[in-house]
Structure 1
Amino acid sequence: MNTSILAAEAPQTGNPILNISVFVAFIVVTMAVVLRAGKSTKEASDFYTGGGSFSGRQNGLAIAGDYLSAASFLGIVGAIALNGYDGFLYSVGFFVAWLVALLLVAEPLRNVGRFTMADVLSFRLKQKPVRVAAAFGTLFVSLFYLIAQMAGAGSLVSVLLNLHDKTAQSIVVAIVGVIMIIYVLVGGMKGTTYVQMIKAVLLILCVGIMTVLVFVSIKGGLSALFDSAVSTHAASETLAKKGYEAQQLLEPGLKYGKTATTKLDFLSLALSLVLGTAGLPHVLMRFYTVPTATEARRSVTWAIVLIGAFYLMTLALGFGAAALVGPDTILAAPGGANAAAPLLALELWGPLFMAAISAVAFATVLAVVAGLAITASASVAHDIYDAVLRDGQSSEEEQVRVSRITVVVIGVAAIVLGILAMSQNVAFLVSLAFAIAASANLPTILYSLYWKRFNTTGAVASMYTGLVAALVLIIFSPAVSGTETSMFSNVDFHWFPLTSPGIVSIPLAFLAGAIGAFVGKPDNLDDLQAEMEVRSLTGVGVEAAVDH
């Protein structure tokens, strides 16, 4: 192994001019797609769901594009490169979660809903309190997901331009946020979906090429790759100072498992990842972009195939980065662990390939944040403004206008928080969004779909309990204060020992929903309960208006 790589005093990041040129070209092309699609975005249904005009295969590609975010590419590759087996657990958790989404929520949600998750939750319950609670859950999940994408974008561009200065990195995050806002304002869901489809194809293709090149460079199979990664880790001075043993790279426990607390943290993370996908509002909203429940189920099948193939390849990329780039170089680069994937591309095929891979990763960030912004804006406009403030009497033009204002507001918030979170692994940041989704949304979704006795009191209690518990535990966890990589590294006000709140907040949300259902008064909406059951199971009446 080259000793200059291990020294890692000045990681090489290719030609900044070439890098930024490829970036700009990619942005111009995708913006042209958005502008073309945006010409047909006239009604609320076009802005929110693309008019429900996409096929299962198209939507499956778009779901893969939506789901394979900066966390999947940048964060997981970095996590595996530094933590080996424990890093790959993110891939396993993110993928297995789709089985829960497929089996429990995909088809019923498409049959019952129209624009947002709250359409399902409020179908047979009292509209206003449930929609407000669902909107808060959607906003916070979207915001935490956006923070991760902004942090990933800042790390990515900082590596390409070799920016170590925090101020310069903050400017990069702000520019990404502005571009994202423009994407959504111009193209709506149609433009975003087409960009996601293009990005999914390019990302999986690029990752496939990188995987082949890793094995060509190693000159062997998985065993040779693992041996090389262990050898590089053994020579790492940075990891040696932290007390890491190289062989642990292939065994459980390098990150999670050394103490009882980290073992519990792993269980909490796993619970959040597996249950979180079925509660992610921006993923659930994609089920409304297809015309039928059958297409919704087919789109999930396509997504599982594409996402599964991608996550298998992250194993090779992560250990490839550990072997060929080295942990010292990764940790010394701007963005830390998030820089592993682009640095591996540079090592494999030079500056041009690195620029191309990074441009695709950048498009990944843009597409995901655009989808998240649309979801949050739809929730505010459709669930709060129209259903609560205007009693369902607002025009579609008003709803779209409110949506666009919301995009700007949440975009600015994501920029500010993304700057604070740039030092953390983006896969971990996304896991916090999964924890909130699994706590605030999933219990109520399952209760609403499958428990006849469930009522408004239970729904409101479950959503607010899950949301507040997750947020409070995150705020007072090591993710926010008390460590070198915390959002506020100079202060320490954490008292919750785990970095992931799911093991506490998810059971609390289920318990609160059950207690609320037994304590609260029945809603006496038996006709709607029967209609919801028939629609969720058969799809009869899907085209009818959801609001009542």
Structure 2
Amino acid sequence: MKLRLLLVLLASLLPTLAYAADAITGEVKQQPLNVAAIVMFVAFVLFTLGITYWAARRSKSASDYYAAGGKITGFQNGLAIAGDFMSAASFLGISALVFTSGYDGLIYSIGFLVGWPVILFLIAERLRNLGKYTFADVASYRLGQRQIRLLSASGALVVVALYLIAQMVGAGKLIQLLFGLNYHVAVVLVGILMVLYVLFGGMLATTWVQIIKAVLLLGGASFMAFMVMKHAGFSFETLFTESAKAHAKGRAIMAPGALVSDPVSAISLGLALMFGTAGLPHILMRFFTVGDAKEARKSVFYATGFIGYFYVLTFIIGFGAILLVSTNPAFKDADGLLLGGNNMAAIHLADAVGGSIFLGFISAVAFATILAVVAGLTLAGASAVSHDLYASVIKHGKANEKDEIRVSKITTVILGVVAIGLGIVFEKQNIAFMVGLAFSIAASCNFPVLFLSMFWSKLTTRGAMLGGWLGLGTAVVLMILGPTIWVQILGHDKPIYPYEYPALFSMIAAFVGIWFFSITDTSARGAAERERFGPQFVRSQTGIGISAAAEH
């Protein structure tokens, strides 16, 4: 039955792919037909759909569907985490920020990376010991199940929605440039493939798509960086000097302040990227795919190495694009603007250093990057609805696995439709900025509740609820009142909140709110919840002397 459904849905994609070939001479006329790119693109889609079918035959239970049965090794999971984290915003967005702003683009690379030691030393082991499928399992371990799961699921869904916007926009622009396909049709194509991976393959298929994508992306980015450095004589001084000469801003691209001009915005963005990583639901969910806490720690160790190496490459790629793309009229339109926008700088660089065949490869890899991330995001969002809201809140923990998985698959389809709609609505937004917003929400709602539930003995359900909602609400409101939405999208003259990122204020609001409403909670329930943070709970966090899974 699953095979027939998969084949029917695959057949439904073929007219779209055929239309892609017909549309090459359509709206985006500047991009010539790249047979290599199309062949690699179709080959990747077919290969990953084959993985999905293989995984579907092995996903028999909720544990298989949500967590790949806990059978992924630390090294494999580290690669999968890297594949999940190295998103379109990383590959296309950060290289575009370096391409336009120079040195300041590094703030995103460093910010994304420094969040991983937080996960390694504070969260990974405890998360694996206390949780089952989602990070809400941990946050609600010693608190009120329904209240905390409702808060955690809400925070997760907001983060997933914002992150999906970035990925869908990147995917649409990439396919539009690659095939000359209409942007809206491209977004629909990505949405359909995303739903297929999650609907049939679950976490096992998603994991292997992420692993394959990580290997391809690291290999492709390494070659691009090598060719850039070869052009610069393997001298960073030459690379930066020549790039400054080629850039319209000149030597100003090597000075800070071009991207984030005031200290409050810099600190706010840094906090969002650092602590938001530890609150991303699709990343935290990956730690339940390994067998124990030791493998969870290994996952973070390997992931940190792969991700750190990748972000060094994006910095080189961004400056390489300045040097080799910005000065080449072949990559510009009649108005002198980069074809496809600045977010396509890395794609054009691939053409510049490797020709049409490598352009086809890196375009297919970039598409694989987006598909892997949106699959992980969709699974995290569907899990929040089915496992946290449906099974724990609506059914009070009494739902059977079959019904829970059915709700998850229905949610997957709904999220696919929502992702397509959001990708169309936010077509003009900078994708790295949208990820910055997602990180702000994760740092303001998910991380404070998760962190304090593990480490603070006086935390109560009332404190976590009121403080968590306060952090989430503050982040969303400040985001709306900020310059991007209030001015650029809604069209007002001046923003009410003058900074682009809300994390500095929304994180303070969350932590202070959780602290205040917990210490003022004098109820019998609050006292009982404080008592639960005793020796047995601490042992369950560290895994010494007790099996948290059995306790759960």
TM-score (norm 2): 0.90
Is 2:186 the counterpart of 1:181?
A: no
Q: Quote the Cα distance in structure 1 between the aligned partners of 2:509 and 2:176.
A: 40
Question: For the aligned residues, what is the CA RMSD?
Answer: 1.9
Q: Write the deviation string for residues 330-385 of structure 1: whole angstroms up to 9, x where unpaired.
A: 78345422101101001111111111101111111111111111111111111111
Q: Write the deviation string for residues 155-204 of structure 1: whole angstroms up to 9, x where unpaired.
A: 211221346xxxx2122112211110111101100000011111111110
Counterpart among 45, 58, 62 of residue 76 in structure 2? 58
Q: Quote the Cα distance in structure 1 between the aligned partners of 2:44 and 2:396.
A: 43
1:472 is displaced (CA, Å) by: 1.3
Which residues in structure 2 correspond to 1:24-103 (within 5 Å)?
A: 24-103=42-121
Aligned pairs, number: 516
Aligned residues of 2:174 and 2:367 also touching (Cα < 8 A): yes
1:271 is displaced (CA, Å) by: 1.1
1:190 equivalent in structure 2: 204
1:372 equivalent in structure 2: 377
Q: Quote the Cα distance in structure 2 between the aligned partners of 1:423 and 1:157.
A: 15
Q: Quote the Cα distance in structure 2 between the aligned partners of 1:73 and 1:311.
A: 9
Q: Quote the Cα distance in structure 1 between the aligned partners of 2:129 and 2:447.
A: 17
Aligned residues of 1:202 and 1:360 also touching (Cα < 8 A): yes
Which residues in structure 2 correspond to 1:374-413 (within 5 Å)?
A: 374-413=379-418
1:251 is displaced (CA, Å) by: 1.2
**Residue 529 of structure 1 aligns to a residue in which SS?**
coil
Aligned residues of 1:126 and 1:523 also touching (Cα < 8 A): no
Which has the higher mean CA deviation after the structures are superposed, 525-534 or 453-462? 525-534
Q: What letter corresponds to residue 450 of structure 2 in structure 1? A: I
Taking a change above 3 Å as real, the CA distance of residues 334 and 410 of structure 1, as seen in their structure-2 partners, is farther
Counterpart among 347, 351, 358 of residue 346 in structure 1? 351
Counterpart among 343, 362, 369 of residue 367 in structure 2? 362
Q: Quote the Cα distance in structure 2 between the aligned partners of 1:249 and 1:335.
A: 22
2:23 equivalent in structure 1: none
Taking a change above 3 Å as real, the CA distance of residues 542 and 334 of structure 1, as seen in their structure-2 partners, is farther
1:468 is displaced (CA, Å) by: 1.0
1:127 is displaced (CA, Å) by: 1.0
Is 2:420 the counterpart of 1:415?
A: yes
**Residue 191 of structure 1 aligns to a residue in which SS?**
helix
1:240 equivalent in structure 2: none
1:58 is displaced (CA, Å) by: 0.7
Counterpart among 473, 476, 482 of residue 471 in structure 1? 476
Aligned residues of 2:460 and 2:530 also touching (Cα < 8 A): no
1:517 equivalent in structure 2: 518
1:254 equivalent in structure 2: 258
Counterpart among 179, 185, 200 of residue 161 in structure 1? 179
Q: Quote the Cα distance in structure 1 between the aligned partners of 2:545 and 2:287.
A: 17
Aligned residues of 1:230 and 1:249 also touching (Cα < 8 A): yes
Q: Quote the Cα distance in structure 2 between the aligned partners of 1:419 and 1:532.
A: 47
Q: What letter corresponds to residue 219 of structure 1 in structure 2? A: G
1:3 equivalent in structure 2: none
1:438 equivalent in structure 2: 443
Which has the higher mean CA deviation after the structures are superposed, 524-533 or 66-75? 524-533
Q: Quote the Cα distance in structure 2 between the aligned partners of 1:375 and 1:546.
A: 24
Aligned residues of 2:36 and 2:361 also touching (Cα < 8 A): no
1:92 is displaced (CA, Å) by: 0.6
Q: What letter corresponds to residue 452 of structure 2 in structure 1? A: Y
**Residue 544 of structure 1 aligns to a residue in which SS?**
helix
1:512 is displaced (CA, Å) by: 0.7
1:11 is displaced (CA, Å) by: 9.6
1:447 equivalent in structure 2: 452
1:451 is displaced (CA, Å) by: 0.7
Aligned residues of 2:325 and 2:349 also touching (Cα < 8 A): yes
Aligned residues of 2:171 and 2:187 also touching (Cα < 8 A): yes
Q: What letter corresponds to residue 32 of structure 1 in structure 2? A: G
Q: Write the deviation string for residues 492-519 of structure 1: whole angstroms up to 9, x where unpaired.
A: 6842221111111111111111111112
1:111 is displaced (CA, Å) by: 1.0
1:205 equivalent in structure 2: 219
Is 2:128 the counterpart of 1:110?
A: yes
Which has the higher mean CA deviation after the structures are superposed, 517-526 or 67-76? 517-526
1:439 is displaced (CA, Å) by: 0.1
Aligned residues of 1:293 and 1:539 also touching (Cα < 8 A): no
Aligned residues of 1:135 and 1:384 also touching (Cα < 8 A): yes
**Residue 484 of structure 2 aligns to a residue in which SS?**
coil
1:35 is displaced (CA, Å) by: 1.3
Aligned residues of 2:540 and 2:548 also touching (Cα < 8 A): no
Q: Quote the Cα distance in structure 1 between the aligned partners of 2:231 and 2:63.
A: 49
Q: Write the deviation string for residues 455-492 of structure 1: whole angstroms up to 9, x where unpaired.
A: 00111012211111111111222222423xx4x5x566
Is 2:283 the counterpart of 1:279?
A: no
Taking a change above 3 Å as real, the CA distance of residues 401 and 227 of structure 1, as seen in their structure-2 partners, is same
Aligned residues of 1:13 and 1:343 also touching (Cα < 8 A): no
**Residue 391 of structure 1 aligns to a residue in which SS?**
coil
1:120 is displaced (CA, Å) by: 0.6
2:270 equivalent in structure 1: 270
1:529 equivalent in structure 2: 533
2:143 equivalent in structure 1: 125
1:14 is displaced (CA, Å) by: 4.7
Task: Give unpaired runs (5+ residues) of structure 1.
Answer: 1-9, 235-244
Aligned residues of 2:459 and 2:529 also touching (Cα < 8 A): no
1:523 is displaced (CA, Å) by: 4.6
Q: Write the deviation string for residues 124-161 of structure 1: whole angstroms up to 9, x where unpaired.
A: 11111111111101111111111111111112112213
Q: What letter corresponds to residue 126 of structure 2 in structure 1? A: P
Q: What letter corresponds to residue 528 of structure 2 in structure 1? A: N
Aligned residues of 1:277 and 1:438 also touching (Cα < 8 A): yes
1:115 is displaced (CA, Å) by: 0.8
Q: Quote the Cα distance in structure 1 between the aligned partners of 2:132 and 2:357.
A: 44
Q: Quote the Cα distance in structure 2 between the aligned partners of 1:124 and 1:104.
A: 18
Aligned residues of 1:154 and 1:335 also touching (Cα < 8 A): no
Task: Give unpaired runs (5+ residues) of structure 2.
Answer: 1-27
Counterpart among 138, 152, 161 of residue 134 in structure 1? 152
1:306 equivalent in structure 2: 306
Aligned residues of 1:113 and 1:119 also touching (Cα < 8 A): yes
Q: Write the deviation string for residues 268-290 of structure 1: whole angstroms up to 9, x where unpaired.
A: 11110011111111111111100
Counterpart among 164, 170, 183 of residue 152 in structure 1? 170
Q: Quote the Cα distance in structure 1 between the aligned partners of 2:185 and 2:71.
A: 38
2:241 equivalent in structure 1: 227
Q: What letter corresponds to residue 365 of structure 1 in structure 2? A: I
Q: What letter corresponds to residue 70 of structure 1 in structure 2? A: A
Identity within the alignment, %: 42
Which has the higher mean CA deviation after the structures are superposed, 11-20 or 392-401? 11-20
1:212 is displaced (CA, Å) by: 0.7
Q: Write the deviation string for residues 81-104 of structure 1: whole angstroms up to 9, x where unpaired.
A: 111111111101001111111111
Taking a change above 3 Å as real, the CA distance of residues 198 and 479 of structure 1, as seen in their structure-2 partners, is same
Aligned residues of 1:335 and 1:423 also touching (Cα < 8 A): no
Q: What letter corresponds to residue 254 of structure 1 in structure 2? A: A
Taking a change above 3 Å as real, the CA distance of residues 16 and 503 of structure 1, as seen in their structure-2 partners, is same
Taking a change above 3 Å as real, the CA distance of residues 100 and 25 of structure 1, as seen in their structure-2 partners, is same
**Residue 252 of structure 1 aligns to a residue in which SS?**
coil
Aligned residues of 2:82 and 2:306 also touching (Cα < 8 A): yes
2:549 equivalent in structure 1: 544
1:323 equivalent in structure 2: 323
Q: What letter corresponds to residue 87 of structure 2 in structure 1? A: S
Q: What letter corresponds to residue 256 of structure 1 in structure 2? A: V
Which has the higher mean CA deviation after the structures are superposed, 57-66 or 153-162? 153-162
Aligned residues of 1:15 and 1:351 also touching (Cα < 8 A): no
Which has the higher mean CA deviation after the structures are superposed, 169-178 or 277-286? 169-178
Q: What letter corresponds to residue 361 of structure 1 in structure 2? A: A
Q: Quote the Cα distance in structure 2 between the aligned partners of 1:540 and 1:396.
A: 29
